[in-house]
């Protein structure tokens, strides 16, 4: 009889752990929106190299717990230009919105004189930004820099 109770307890604990682990980020997607400025009023997909690019990540239906939200910004050639991370805790099941931004660095004045441009050519074209929640992909956006 004791063996049966132990088996039942083990199965119950396994089920609870599996459900908590699976519900944390499994099958979750977040809405990713890019904006022209920090007012977050003008949605935009084409930017100048002089612009700051603002990103909002809106994740819905999160269970209580600790989270790590991160972004990886990829240049048109696929190189990683920037990575950001934000950790947060939710005491109750809810949605969560976080904001990130990126601004390109200008060339030095010596490089400007040699190339007649303020920004590296690698910055121009179609970019990709990927968003991860607890290292699981939850969203992606593309944008161009002209």
pLDDT score at 124: 95
pLDDT score at 82: 96
Rounded to two decimals, what is the model's pTM?
Answer: 0.76
**Which helix H or strand E contains 114, and what residues bound it?**
helix 109-115
Per-residue pLDDT of the chain (146 residues; tens, 9 = 90+): 555 554 554 444 333 333 334 445 557 889 999 999 989 999 999 999 999 999 999 999 999 999 999 999 999 999 999 999 999 999 999 999 999 999 998 876 655 545 546 888 999 999 999 999 999 999 999 999 99
Place of tokens 């303020």: 118
Quick check: is 1 in a domain?
A: no
Domain count, the chain: 1
CATH number of the domain enclosing 129: 2.60.40.10
pLDDT score at 102: 95
pLDDT score at 105: 83
Q: Are 107 and 118 in contact (CB under 8 A)?
A: yes
Quick check: is 105 in a domain?
A: yes
Beta strands in 1-124, from DSSP E residues, in sequence order: 30-35, 46-47, 52-62, 65-74, 80-90, 94-103
Quick check: is 98 in a domain?
A: yes
Quick check: is 3 in a domain?
A: no
pLDDT score at 29: 87
User: 81 lies in which domain range?
Assistant: 28-145
């Amino acid at each position: 009889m004791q063996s049966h109770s132990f088996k039942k307890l083990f199965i119950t604990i396994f089920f609870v752990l599996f459900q908590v682990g699976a519900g944390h980020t499994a099958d979750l997607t977040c809405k990713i929106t890019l904006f022209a400025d920090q007012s977050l009023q003008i949605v935009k997909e084409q930017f100048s190299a002089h612009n700051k690019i603002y990103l909002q990540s809106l994740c819905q239906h999160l269970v209580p717990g600790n989270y790590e939200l991160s972004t990886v910004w990829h240049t048109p050639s696929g190189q990683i230009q920037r990575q950001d991370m934000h950790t947060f805790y939710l005491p109750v099941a809810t949605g969560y919105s976080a904001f990130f931004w990126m601004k390109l660095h200008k060339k030095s004045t010596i490089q400007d004189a040699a190339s007649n441009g303020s920004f590296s050519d690698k910055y121009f074209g179609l970019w990709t930004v990927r968003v991860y929640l607890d290292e699981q992909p939850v969203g992606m956006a593309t944008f161009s820099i002209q």
